[in-house]
Amino acid sequence: MNKRYWSGRICGLVPYTPGEQPKDRQFIKLNTNENPYPPSPRVTGAVAAAAGADLRRYPDPEGAPLLAALSRACGLPQDHIFAGNGSDEVLSFAFQAFFDAGSTIVFPDITYSFYPVYANLFGIRCRRVPLNPDFTLPVEAFCGGNDGVVIANPNAPTGMAVGLDALRAILEANPHAVVIVDEAYVDFGAQSALPLVGAYPNLLVVQTMSKSRALAGLRVGFAFGQPELIAALRCVKDSINSYTLDRLAIAGAVAALEDGDYFDLRRRQVMDTRERAAERLRELGFTVLPSQANFLFASHPAVPARDLFAGLRAAGILVRYFAQPRIDSFLRITVGTDGEMDALCRALESLLGQRS
């Protein structure tokens, strides 16, 4: 590809690679951490009601009805909340809002692979702290001397979470740096840092509706923090796109948030299935990390993960494999329905049997 007209800032970029979205063939899709259940049935009605003549009007620039619903749900005032087009957009705004070009931010060597992509685009330096050999977070290594900290909690693709004490230690040791806690998967069993927002002006908590709310297709994410941080995110948004949430996304997100019973039912189902599937994978000889997310990270001592990935794909099951140091013996497997996880385990059993 000729790049005569590309700016210097993008010529050397390696963009993020999302998981495969197959178009041609029906797969059991356990590769992008989508929810196996549909969103709240209230979403459909709310979206249909919003899809009329009012679409000719711009949406509210801050997504006000959504901020109001979030405020009711979490108890924080609206000036503590930012809503955007998926948590990826919110994170990209946060990197621009809080991290200077040439400064150095820190995150684990094994984590969400979008963080270094944002950093590269905005000229921010990255210091990657190795996770401990058991993939736990070396908390003390994040304490002090950073221009910014990014922690996914639970972490991806390990699924492992830290408690609030660890986050408090990191927040207190970095009083002049913003600490982003990316809680994309928090609703599947980890502790949210939301109760810390009032105490720490340097804390930004980022969440999404893509996973636990089953709305990956609606593109809605949030950030929670003190007004100084939220105003910075709004400043970035209003310098890029005044309205990143369309009227339908706002309406659908509000309806999903208001259906708390459905939310609790579905995330409970996912967590129950996760524990049963982890147990069966262990019976098949896998090492399975303790997950508090809607996916499992599993490694088999006898068969290379790359081979299992390919074998599963041939059997019509998509999982995710990262050809990356330290984790290239692992598969990341999204928790599907019980039926989907049964099919996965049967396919793995067959693949392992062919090897023995």
Whichever of 43 and 319 has its CB closer to its own copies, that residue is 43
Task: Out of 28, 80, 83, 89, point to the residue binding its own copies (CB under 8 A).
Answer: 89
Cis amide prior to 133 (ω within 30 degrees): no
Least distance between its own copies and beta carbon 354 (Å): 31
- Closest CB to its own copies among residues 99, 286: 99
Residue span 217-256 as binding mask against its own copies, x where in contact by CB under 8 A, dash where not: xxx-------xxx-xx-xxxxxxxxxxxxxxxx--x----
Between residue 16 and residue 55, which ones bind its own copies under the rule CB under 8 A? 16-18, 21, 23, 29, 32, 34-39, 43-44, 47-48, 51-55
Which residues, numbered 195-224, are part of the site for its own copies (CB under 8 A)?
A: 201-202, 210, 214-219
Per-residue CA distances from 240 to 65, 86, 89, 96, 102 (Å): 21, 15, 11, 11, 22
Indicate the residue among 225 and 311 with the shorter CB distance to its own copies: 225
Two structure tokens written together for 56? 């000719």
Structural contact between residues 38 and 219, judged by C-beta atoms closer than 8 angstroms: no
How many residues sit close enough to its own copies to count as binding (CB under 8 A)? 89
**Considering only residues 108-127, where is the footprint of its own copies by CB under 8 A?**
117-118, 120-121
Determine the interface stretch with its own copies among 92-100, 283-291, 319-327, 341-349 (rule: CB under 8 A).
92-100
Beta carbons of 196 and 203 less than 8 angstroms apart: yes
Q: Are 193 and 332 in contact (CB under 8 A)?
A: no
Q: What is the largest CA-CA distance in the chain?
A: 63
CB of 171 to its own copies, least distance (A): 12
Mask for 149-178, x = binds its own copies (CB under 8 A)? ---------------------------x-x
The residue from 97, 149, 162, 196 that contacts its own copies (CB under 8 A) is 97
Distance spanning both ends of the chain, measured CA to CA:
46
The region of 60-68, 127-135, 192-200, 268-276 touching its own copies under the rule CB under 8 A is: 60-68
